[in-house]
């Protein structure tokens, strides 16, 4: 939802660049002080990760790779869009427009010492 | 000539530079960490549509498998992929008979530079208008594609070249730039605007080139886009262009196109609007050379409003029953040079209304009515009148019923 409000007022979507270590990405929780959504750009990866803070305090990490033909997705403010064949996904990763039929891949997350750990599996 | 060599060299360096970057990055530590992501994969997909059409003025009806397109993609790794689409129009192509088409709609390599940028090289669809990129038949309303993006913007418009696509890091802004072969003004035909001037990948002359660019901005439920095209159409040697009285060179005898569109979707409501203008400043020279009655200006615009009657707030429902109405206005003959002949039948207004039922997102059942109004016929353009032809009618309507899918 916040992604929508950020985009709708023309603000920049936050993006955080970090490294991958032991198939894990570590993101400081402090990044979510002013926003419930963060775009994560793991170094060397060719897809972004959309990291969203849920109302219960947990985090959802979505791989922004179209499940139709593996194209990168663009955050639109109310979801994610693939410009290759037009597939669209909502903020939860569900398909809202084909040709994609499967939801976005979710990575498991956990919080350790104020760091959100995304397990790249 | 020197300018052309410079441009082509630049393009070559652009691609080889990207390839070089790919090769270097294959051996980075991050690649091994990404091994779980970097699987090669082959994707097969496609789309198609068939419909019944009743032409009430002509008193004729037809059933046609308009398109069947098979899409094949292969991801060699996370950085390099190949995509292709093979299209058959009107179900079959038979030697010696007109009608039907087999065509490669897309065939290009895609090089991912990073999560936000990629390069395409090959036969691809530049980002101009809405339909050129998003043309799967279950994603637009009406059995036929809208006429503005068929005759003014000649979708689907693919040419050979290279393109850079990206989005601004941290901003809801996409961009694209492309360099492709130009159109051929010698292939323009009266009544179809620039559509017949496309090469679409078949022995394209590259004496003329074209640049395209676009910007897309997302604002919550709104999406806005502007795009442009500027390219030469002489597409012959300088000596031949001189003899025809056409300006030669990469951008000689140019075509310029500007386009802007917005899309809005909220709840069950959706709206899309598009406007475009095509300028051919050397139309008089083209007409002198080829006598094809090329216009100086074409324009088109449409507005579509739609509502999904099955929408329920807060629930996810794959089924949709979308009712819509669209107003299309275009003039392929908006202004003509002094040696052109006005054809007001190319000044048209269409109202399209109907519904699209999607039992699942990938399948659509469609019904619509297209009400057509055109300007009057110019008798100067009727060279050999058909004695059994019906008198020209400015009003007509088409009733369309059909099915469509994509996967």
Q: Which of B363, B368, B371 lies closest to B142, judged by CA?
A: B368
pLDDT at B40: 67
User: d(Cα B135, Cα B123) in Å, to the nearest integer?
Assistant: 16
Max mean pLDDT range (A6-15, A22-31, B133-142):
B133-142
Contacts for B342 with CB less than 8 Å, ≥ 6 apart: B333, B336, B378
Please, are residues A31 and A38 in contact by the beta-carbon 8 Å criterion? yes
Q: Which helix (H) or strand (E) holds B37?
A: none
Please report, for chain A, how many H helices and E strands are present, in that order: 1, 13
Q: State whether residue A70 sits within 8 Å of chain B by CB.
A: yes
Residue pair B257/B276 in contact (Cβ under 8 Å)? The answer is yes
CATH node for B2-25+43-406: 2.40.160.10
Give the model confidence (pLDDT) of B143-187 as tens digits.
Answer: 999 999 999 999 999 999 999 999 887 678 899 999 999 999 999
Inter-chain CB pairs, A–B, below 8 Å? 131
Nearest alpha-carbon partner for B374 in B325, B323, B332, B338: B332
Helix (H) or strand (E) holding B285: helix B283-290
Residue A85: pLDDT above 70?
A: yes
| Under-50 pLDDT residues of chain B | 1-3, 5-6, 8, 10, 12-36
Task: Look at strands A37-42 and A15-18 and give their pairing.
Answer: parallel
| For residue B308, cis peptide bond before it (omega within 30 degrees of 0) | no
Give CA separation, B287 vs B89, B231, B292, B370, in Å: 31, 18, 6, 33
Q: What is the ipTM metric for this complex?
A: 0.80
Is B133's Cβ below 8 Å from some Cβ in A? yes
Q: How far apart are CA B28 and CA B47, in angstroms?
A: 39
Report the C-alpha gap between A28 and A115 in whole angstroms. 5
Look at A7 and B218 and tell me if their CB atoms are within 8 Å. yes
Give Cβ neighbours of residue A55 (< 8 Å, ≥ 6 apart): none
Helix (H) or strand (E) holding B11: helix B2-25
Say if residue A27's pLDDT is above 70: yes
Residue ranges per domain, chain A? 2-119
B313 versus A51: the higher-pLDDT residue is A51
Average pLDDT of the residues in A4-29: 68
Phi-psi region of B201 (alpha: psi -120 to 50; beta: other; left: phi over 0): left
Contact with chain A for residue B382, Cβ under 8 A: no
| B297 at interface of A, judged by CB pairs closer than 8 A | no
Which residues are registered as beta bridge partners of B405?
B48, B363
| Chosen from B122, B164, B170 to mutate, greatest number of chain A CBs within 10 A | B170
State yes or no: pLDDT of A74 exceeds 90: no
Query: What is the model's pLDDT at position B39?
Result: 62
For residue B136, give the chain A residue with the closest CA. Answer: A85
Q: Are the Cβ atoms of A99 and B407 closer than 8 angstroms? A: yes
Looking at the domain A2-119, which fold is it? Rieske Iron-sulfur Protein (2.102.10)
* β-bridge partners, B283: none
B171–chain A nearest CA distance, Å: 4
CA distance B198 to chain A (A): 22
Tokens 């007409």 appear where?
B287
- pTM for this one? 0.86
B385 to B225, B381, B392: CA distances (angstroms) = 44, 10, 11
pLDDT tens readout for residues A94-118: 998 888 999 999 999 999 888 899 9
Which among A13, A15, A86 has the least Cβ separation from residue B139? A86
A35 in contact with B, Cβ within 8 Å: no
Chain B residues near residue A10 by CB distance under 8 angstroms: 219
The three-state secondary structure class of B239 is helix
Contact (CB<8Å) B45/A14: no
Q: Give every CB contact of residue B314 below 8 A, 6+ residues apart in sequence.
A: none
- Contact between A47 and B78 (Cβ < 8 Å): yes
């Amino acid at each position: 939802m916040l992604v929508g409000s950020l985009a709708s007022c023309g603000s920049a979507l936050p993006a955080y660049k970090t490294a991958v270590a032991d198939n894990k990405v570590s993101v400081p929780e402090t990044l979510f002080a002013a926003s419930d959504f963060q775009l994560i750009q793991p170094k060397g990866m060719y897809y972004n990760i959309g990291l969203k803070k849920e109302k219960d305090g947990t985090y959802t990490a979505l791989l922004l790779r179209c499940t139709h033909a593996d194209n990168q997705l663009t955050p639109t403010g109310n979801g994610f869009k693939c410009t290759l064949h037009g597939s669209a996904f909502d903020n939860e990763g569900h398909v809202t427009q084909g040709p994609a039929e499967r939801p976005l891949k979710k990575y498991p997350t956990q919080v350790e010492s104020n760091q959100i750990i995304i397990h790249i599996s | 000539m020197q300018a052309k060599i410079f441009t082509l060299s630049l393009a070559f360096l652009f691609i080889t530079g990207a390839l070089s970057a790919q090769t270097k990055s294959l051996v980075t530590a991050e690649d091994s960490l990404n091994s779980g992501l970097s699987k090669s994969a082959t994707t097969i997909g496609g789309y198609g549509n068939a419909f019944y059409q009743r032409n009430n003025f002509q008193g004729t009806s037809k059933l046609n498998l308009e398109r069947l397109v098979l899409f094949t993609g292969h991801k060699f790794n996370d950085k390099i992929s190949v995509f292709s689409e093979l299209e058959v129009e009107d179900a079959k192509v038979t030697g010696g008979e007109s009608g039907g088409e087999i065509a490669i709609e897309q065939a290009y390599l895609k090089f991912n530079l990073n999560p936000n940028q990629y390069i395409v090289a090959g036969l691809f669809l530049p980002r101009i208008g809405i339909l050129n990129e998003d043309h799967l038949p279950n994603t637009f309303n009406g059995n036929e594609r809208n006429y503005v993006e068929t005759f003014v913007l000649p979708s689907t418009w693919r040419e050979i070249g290279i393109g850079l696509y990206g989005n601004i890091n941290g901003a809801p802004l996409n961009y694209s730039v492309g360099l492709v072969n130009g159109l051929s003004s010698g292939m323009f035909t009266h009544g179809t605007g620039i559509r017949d001037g496309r090469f679409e990948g078949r022995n394209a002359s590259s004496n003329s080139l074209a640049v395209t660019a676009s910007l897309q901005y997302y604002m919550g439920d709104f999406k806005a886009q502007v795009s442009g095209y500027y390219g030469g159409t002489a597409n012959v040697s300088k000596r031949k262009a001189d003899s025809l009285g056409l300006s030669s060179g990469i951008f000689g005898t140019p075509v310029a196109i500007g386009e802007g569109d917005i899309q809005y979707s909220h709840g069950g409501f959706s709206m899309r609007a598009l406007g475009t203008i095509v300028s051919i400043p050397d139309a008089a020279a083209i007409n002198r050379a080829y006598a094809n009655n090329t216009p100086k200006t074409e324009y088109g615009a449409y507005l579509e409003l739609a509502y999904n009657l099955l929408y329920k707030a807060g629930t996810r429902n794959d089924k949709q029953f979308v009712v819509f109405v669209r107003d299309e206005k275009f003039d392929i003959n908006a202004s003509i040079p002094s040696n052109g002949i006005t054809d007001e039948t190319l000044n048209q207004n269409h109202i399209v209304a109907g519904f699209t039922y999607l039992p699942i997102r990938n399948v659509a059942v469609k019904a619509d009515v297209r009400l057509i109004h055109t300007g009057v016929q110019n008798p100067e353009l009727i060279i050999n009148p058909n004695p059994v032809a019906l008198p020209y009618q400015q009003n007509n309507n088409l009733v369309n019923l059909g099915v469509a899918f994509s996967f």
